[in-house]
Amino acid sequence: MQIDRHTISLGAAPLDYQVTGSASSGIPTVFLHPWFGCWQFWTSTMEAFAQRPCYAVDFYSPSAGDDWSSVATPAGLAEAVLAVLDAEQLDRVDLVGNSVGGIVAQVIASAAPQRVRRLVLVGTGASTAGTLPGFAAAVDRWTAGIRNGDEASRAAVEDTVGMLFSTRPPSADWETYIQAVLRTDPAYLGAVLGAARALDLTSRLPAITAPTLIVRGSVDCARTTEHVAVLESGIPNARAVEIPGAGHSPMVDHPAEFIRLIADHLETAG
């Protein structure tokens, strides 16, 4: 699979995104990764959707710029994704987001519903309230260290990233995931995470018009069935599916089941 890297400017910050497939065939699909994940989480999904033009946004890339402050919120990241759509002349897309990527996807789908044909929300919620305590404590330890000026250690990153999966990925993939986080400015990571944790999108869910699939792994370390229930009841045209044995990011630990589920949803006409 050929992957092409594109970059746009967001003022003083760059935004990278990876493109696969042909722009002239299929429905464009945009993938938004979780925090402590990376765009490479979507590699197997993008390969399975080779007949579509696929865009995997690298949410970490703005931290390489001179000033990422305007980007470092879910609303700022949503504007960045819409800038990608404009740059690529994509009027309407299918949108898939995991965790914080799912929060950004909800912001886009509620603020610009005409731009989203189908929506998939994975391991996410309308808010982070009620996050399972083990994962919340791990994130709290990481953010406390950053506030104290500590460098994010590899061990701390591995502990947090490892919680996203029900089974550990192959060594080469694991190293890719860890290095993606370690290379990113921890102040930027903390700023986005803090803004996401302060946000509650429940009142905005009725504005989402796209048919929506909500996916949760049965052993998700962070989001609960209550998070799913809020999304399913708040979004007018939504249904929920649980993948047995899958974790917070099922596209990594249960790719075949995940691909089958979202293919059924995204390939529906309309």
Q: What is the pLDDT of residues 209-232, one digit of tens each?
A: 999 999 999 999 999 999 999 999
Average pLDDT on 109-136 reads: 95
Domains present along the chain, CATH in parentheses = 4-266 (3.40.50.1820)
How is residue 121 written in tokens? 């929300």
How is residue 198 written in tokens? 């302060």
Among the listed residues 81, 72, 8, the one whose alpha carbon sits nearest the alpha carbon of residue 35: 72
pLDDT of residue 147: 59
Instruction: Count other Cβ atoms within 10 Å, centred on residue 14.
Output: 18
Average pLDDT on 244-257 reads: 98
pLDDT of residue 157: 85
Q: With 80 as the cut, is the pLDDT of residue 94 above it?
A: yes
Rounded CA separation 93/44 (Å): 19
Lowest mean pLDDT among 117-131, 135-149, 185-199: 135-149
- Global pTM reads 0.96
pLDDT of residue 23: 67
Q: With 90 as the cut, is the pLDDT of residue 80 above it?
A: yes
What confidence tier does 203 reach under pLDDT thresholds 50, 70, 90? very high
pLDDT of residue 136: 85
Average pLDDT on 105-118 reads: 98
Give percent of the chain with pLDDT exceeding 70: 96
Average pLDDT, the chain: 93
Q: With 60 as the cut, is the pLDDT of residue 269 above it?
A: no
Average pLDDT on 244-262 reads: 98
Average pLDDT on 134-149 reads: 74
pLDDT of residue 4: 94
What is the full DSSP assignment across the chain? ---EEEEEEETTEEEEEEEES-TTSS--EEEEPPTTS-GGGGHHHHHHTTTS-EEEEETTGGGGSS--TTTSSHHHHHHHHHHHHHHTT-SSEEEEEETHHHHHHHHHHHH-GGGEEEEEEES--SBSTT--HHHHHHHHHHHHHHHTT----HHHHHHHHHTT-SSPPPHHHHHHHHHHHHTS-HHHHHHHHHHHHT-B-GGGGGG--S-EEEEEETT-SS--HHHHHHHHHHSTTEEEEEETT--S-HHHHSHHHHHHHHHHHHTS--
Distance from the Cα of residue 57 to its chain's centroid: 9
What confidence tier does 72 reach under pLDDT thresholds 50, 70, 90? very high
Exposure string for 230-244, b = 16+ CB within 10 A, e = fewer:
bbbebbeebebeebe
2-56 pLDDT per residue, tens:
999 999 999 999 999 999 987 667 899 999 999 999 999 999 999 999 989 999 9
CA distance readout (Å), 142 to 38, 93, 99, 139, 269 = 17, 35, 17, 5, 43
